Each structure stands twice: as structure tokens, then as C-alpha cells.
Chains A and B, each alone.
Chain A
Amino acid sequence: MLPPTEPILKISGLDVVYKSRLKGLKTVAAEGVSFNVYKNETVGLIGESGAGKSSIANAIIGLVEGEGDVLLHGKEINAYSPLDRYKKIQYIFQDPTSSLDPRYSVFKSISEPLINLLEYDRTQCDARVRELLDAVGIPTIKMHNLPHEFSGGQKQRIAIARALAVNPEIILADEPLSSLDISVQAQIIHLFQDLQKKFSLSFVFISHDLNVIWYLSDYIVVLLGGAIVEKAPKKELFQHPVHPYTKELLSTVIANDKENSTVKKQAFFDSSDIQNPEGGCHFYTKCNIAQKECMNSKPQSKKVGPDHWVTCYSAKTQENCLTQRREDAKAQRKS
């Protein structure tokens, strides 16, 4: 499925480095991140905590400094003024309780971007806020209530309404379902799908939950230790994962039916123990097909399929992959 146009957001070689003033220490939160976001598409960023997903999102929107190229409609993003940037890219935070000012009514919270970025007056705000609340399913009669009078799911809807207010082209959603109850998560997933269709939005959806990413993404980017290890369209990634970490991640999907729910015996894999060998692949210490070169240097990104890139020494080139797949398919048909 090749996108016909230029990407709205083109990220190449994004590095996010936090410097500690006190000791002069540097923490590399993300390095060499490159991916594209097209119109009407959702890119899912998946990775475990500490993988750098939030840092990347923060760097895109400008809350932290990042080095590298981030092009919005072909123009360097720092060339936009912050206000222009916020008109095109918006953000939804993980915890709706802390992302809404507890002393601001719903109306005030949603009007804030309208007033600051679009210079709306009171009447315009009123009309727009009503429109947005209808779109997210919050009764407009509660427009002047405070956040604590709403449930977690409703608060997240209000945060979504606020992000939609200025009609952005891209919305970055940072783990928006993690703080919500199970019976409400499906509602919000449905809301995201609905809004994307209605408003032709592009999303960058961050999560550590592969199940949620499956439902919301068209294109998936797998992060480990701040670097991309694999990226591909959704079905392609699920059917032909190449990187050992991606395969490990896919094996953690525990389905609800009994046959798949027995926990398979795996080698112990504690991602929080992953060391960061200087210059080496982040997965080295836990990889079961690691070679010597993996410890000393980072592999280059290789194309292994349609819009499918892998950063791994063991990844074969695209031609070899296609040959492998044909052979696998033949073997399957025979058995």
C-alpha cells in the first residue's frame, strides 16, 4: 500500500539527548529516528518504557530540544513559530487527570487553544466547544463543570476535544489509553477511529500495548533503547517480522481463547535489564542470534520488504527476504 503523496511529517535522524547540568552527563533518549507520517494515516510507535517514545513525541511538538531533521510539509519545523506549529500538531497526554487544569471548567480548557492560537472571541468559542463536545460524546450541558466531576474516560474525551479544537493535521497521542479502565478503552479506541475518518486526521499513536496499536495503526514503528529496530505497515510487520526483538514482542500477545493463553516457556527476557553497550545494538545482551559485530557497532537500516525496514545485522536484504518467503510459503503448502 504505497502512499500517493508526500508525507505531512518527515522525520530523519532525530536525536533527543538530555543533558544533566549538574554532572555533565548525557542521556540519549532517542537516536537516529526516521519515519514519515502521511495524511489520514496513523503511525503506531511501540516500545517498552524507556524506549524513548515520549521523548520523540515531545521533540516533534517542541516541548524538548531535538537534533536532526523534522520537516512539516517540507519545511523545517523550527522555521515555524511555536504558535503556528501548535496549530498544525497537537498532543494528547497519558493521564487525563493531570493534563486538565483542575480549576478550569471544560469550556475554559477547550477554549484556551482557540483563544491563544486562533484568536476566537467568546461567541465563537462557545459554538466551537459545543461542536467538539458533540464530536467526542460529552453532553454540552456539562460544559461548565470542573474536571473532577467527570470519570476518567470522560476526562480523556475532553482532552481529545481540546486537541481537536484548532483543527490540527497531526495529533500525537502519548499512551492515551493506559490510565483508563478496560471497559472504557474500547470506547476511546472507537472514538479515535471515528474522529480520524470524520476529520481526516493523522495520528502518531504511542503505546506499549501491541493489541491497541494493532487496532489503531496503519504503520508500525518498533523502538528499543531509543532507536528504531523495525518499521513496516501493520500487516506486513505481523506476518513477516524480521528483528528478533519484534518477534519477541509479537509472542507476548496473549489471546483470550484458551489454546493461545497458555504462557509459553520463553527465555527470561527482562527488558529493563537491557544494558546500553556503547556503540552496539541495544538488544545484544538478550538476543539469541547475536553475533560479535552486534556488540561493537550499530547496524544500518536495511529494506527487507515493501516499506519495511529493519536495523539488524541478521536481516537479509529484500531480495533474500522475498526468496525466503517464497520458500516458506512452498514449505507451508506442502505440509
Chain B
Amino acid sequence: MPLLTIKNLTTSFKESDGLIPILVDLSYSIGTGEVLGIVGESGSGKTMSVKTVLGLCPDKDYRIQSGSILFSGGDLLTLNGKYLRSIRGREITMIFQDALSALNPYLTIRTQLLEALPDTNLSKAEKLHKIIETLHWVGFADAEDKISSYPFELSGGMRQRVLTAMALLPDPKLIIADEPTSSIDATLSKQILSLFKKINVEKNISIIFISHNFGHVASVSNRILVMYGGRAVEVDTTDGVLTTPAHPYTRALLDSIPVAGSSGTALPFIPGDPPDLREIGINACPFYPRCRFVTNECKSSFPDKNTRNTKEFFCYHPLSQS
């Protein structure tokens, strides 16, 4: 029984000249104790899908047209505000991309960490004890001394750990990490990635890891979902996606990622630009303008789901297994 299931979610944004599709018939799920990596470029819908899960799209122009989000047996889309609030920040927590802007610059981190703890039956002293414990666990040295600092007094790495601690404090079942390594340097990224692995393995918390960096996603995830143009195009185990991708986009993306130390200097690239869903429409494969294998079918309808062992993909011309 998966922990979170998104089923046929379709959303769009209302603009003055029509609807812009954001998510199109999106379905994916994550099980208990699993790390699901979501890879895609900007506009692919990866961030919007999790924001919709958490109800973080208050914009009145954002329309959820159809679909359901099942968590703990209930559909999050039909819940009222109060119940949603008991889940958001408690059972499902989020780690945002930029630690500096995710923290309130006017409050000490002690105050913000206390805020992250729901009103349980713990006394303040017990809460603080738990906070210090969690900070130590995430690798934040001198927690007792630094807890009264303001965010700007901490280094980038420490801020990132504070955010991670905030996400861990309510003992969630699922943590959503939205591009946690995008605005930090390579050596710091390594630590953050090993921290996520630790969270998953030692505390059995599921993680949705969103990134456009394939290498980072691959190093922590059990399964990878590839998104493009608001749709899921391929999902499989990490191995399956990296070694035998079926969708041309996945293959092209993997080939186009520069890796230091590789032989040859010619880097294959995907021609064209990220998709404009208003031009392409939702009744076609969004990758067709940039795909080498495009045929007329691709332009007129989106392919049905296809399976191959553990892999699910949506393509009329999948790559062979070799």
C-alpha cells in the first residue's frame, strides 16, 4: 500500500488569454521508506505537483481540474483546511531550495525550530531537548551555543541543516525536498545527500527528492520519475533509468550531462527549448518538437502507459533494452 498516490492529476493556470496547462494527467506514488527522485527541467511540473500535494498554491488562478491525491487513505484535494493543516507540516514536511529565503531573517533559529514542532504534550524544555538532539543528528555542531543565532549569522551549510532539522522534528512520514542541492556548492552537496540517505535508512522516512541534477538524484533515490511538460514520461528503479532508459528524453538527457573525466569533448545535446504547452497542446507528446524519433502519432495523441519489468513509460518509440 503506497504512502502517497497522485492519480490523474490535471491542473492549469488561468491567464487573461486562456488556460496554461501545468500538470497533465499526472500519476505517481511513493511507498513507505522509499526515496523517489523526480527529475525534470523547469516547467516540467515537478515542483508544482508537490506544491499541489501540500496545498501551497493559494493563487486563485490555479485550477485543479481533475484527479486525486491519496494519503493515509484520504484524498487531500477534498480535505478541509483544518485537516490539511494537520497533515502539512506534520506528516508531510518540506525542505525548500534556498535556505536563506526559507528562514525568517527576524527570528532566531530556536524560535523557528519551536514553531516546527506541533503543539504536542511536550513541555518547552522537552521540546528544546528534542530540537538539540535533532540538530546534533543532522550534523549541526555546537547546537547548544548556536541555537540563539539568527539565520544570517550561520553559514550556508548550517542553514541547510536547520531546514532539514525543521522537517524532521514533527516525525513525518514523508519529507519532500525541493531542489535542496541546487543553490549550494559541490562539497556541501555531498554531505546533504549523505544526510538524506541517513534519514531514509535510519528513520525509515520516505523522501521525494526533486532536482534537475541527475547525479544527485541518482545517488539517493530508489526509484526515479522523469517528468516533462507536466507529464510523467518514465518511472523505474534508479538502475533501470540510468542504464536502460526507455524514453528518448531520458536517454538524451543522460547523454547531455557533462561528466568530468570522460573521453572526447563533443557533448551530445537536445536541440530546441523547454516546451510551451499552449502551443503543443495536451493531446500530443510534449517532447515531440525535440525528439529524434517523432512520427505523426506523437503529434496527435499522448501514448498510453507501457510497462517493461519494473519500468513504466509513455512513448510510441521507446528505446530497446540493449
Contacts and interface: CB of A to CB of B under 8 A. Distances in A.
Complex A–B touching at CB under 8 A: yes
A49 B274 CA distance: 28
Contact of A256 (B187, B214, B268, B273): B214
A256 B259 contact: yes
A183 B139 CA distance: 34
B interface: dominant SS: helix
Chain B interface residue number, banded: 35 or more
Contacts of A263: 190, 193-194, 197, 219-220
B219 A261 contact: yes
Contact of B265 (A193, A211, A255, A256): A193
B239 A212 contact: no
A154 B273 contact: yes
A185 B42 CA distance: 13
A215 interface: yes
Contact of A257 (B220, B243, B258, B261): B243
B254 interface: yes
Interface string B235-246: 000110011000
B127 interface: no
B7 interface: no
A182 interface: yes
Contact of A272 (B188, B213, B238, B261): B188
B283 interface: no
Contacts of B214: 182, 256
Chain A interface residue number, banded: 35 or more
Contact of A181 (B215, B261, B268, B274): B274
Contact of B261 (A187, A214, A266, A271): A214
A183 B256 CA distance: 7
Contact of A48 (B139, B185, B191, B271): B185
Contacts of B191: 266, 268-270
Interface in B261-290: 261-262, 265-271, 273-274
Nearest to A286: B187
A268 B198 CA distance: 14
Contact of B187 (A181, A262, A270): A270
A189 B267 contact: yes
B23 interface: no
A238 B262 CA distance: 11
Contacts of A183: 41, 252-253, 256, 269-270, 274
Interface in A230-251: 238, 248-250
Contacts of B267: 186, 189-190, 215
Interface of B: 41-42, 139, 155-158, 185-191, 193-194, 197, 212-216, 218-220, 238-239, 242-243, 252-254, 256-262, 265-271, 273-274
6 contacts: A253-B259, A254-B215, A261-B219, A261-B242, A266-B191, A270-B191
